Amino acid sequence: MMRLYYKTDGKNLKTDINKLNYDIAKRVIESFPMYEQAILTDILLPDRPIEKNVEIVSIEYDLPEDEVWNLLNNVTNKIAKERGLI
C-alpha cells in the first residue's frame, strides 16, 4: 500500500480497493512530520529491496537501522489498523 502511494498520484487507479488503499496510505503517511515522510520516501521510492533501502537510509540520515525499521513498522501498523486488517 505504501509503495502505491509513492508510485502513483492516486488519480487513475482502476479498482475501488486500490483507491481505498491509496487514500488510507496517503492519510497515514501525511500525518507524520515532514522529516519522517522524507525518510519514508527514501525507503519506499527506490526500486530496491526494502532491506537495502533501510540500510542506505540509516547511513544517509545517520540513524540506527532499528530506528528506521521502527518508523516503517509504525506506519505499516497504522495503515493496517485504518484498513481494518488488524
Whether the CB-CB separation of 45 and 6 falls below 8 Å is answered with: yes
Q: How many CB atoms lie within 10 A of CB 70?
A: 12
More confident residue, 84 or 4: 84
CB atoms within 10 A of CB 68: 22
Q: Please write the tens of the pLDDT for every residue from 15-65.
A: 888 888 889 999 999 999 999 999 999 999 898 999 999 999 999 999 999
The HSE-up count of residue 63 (CA atoms within 13 Å, CB side) is 18
Output the CA torsion 37→81→23→48 (10° steps). Answer: 50
pTM reported for the whole predicted model:
0.86
Please report which confidence band the pLDDT of residue 12 belongs to, taking 50, 70 and 90 as the band edges.
confident
Predicted local confidence at residue 50, as pLDDT: 94
Q: What is the dihedral of CA 46, 50, 59, 24, to 10 degrees?
A: 80
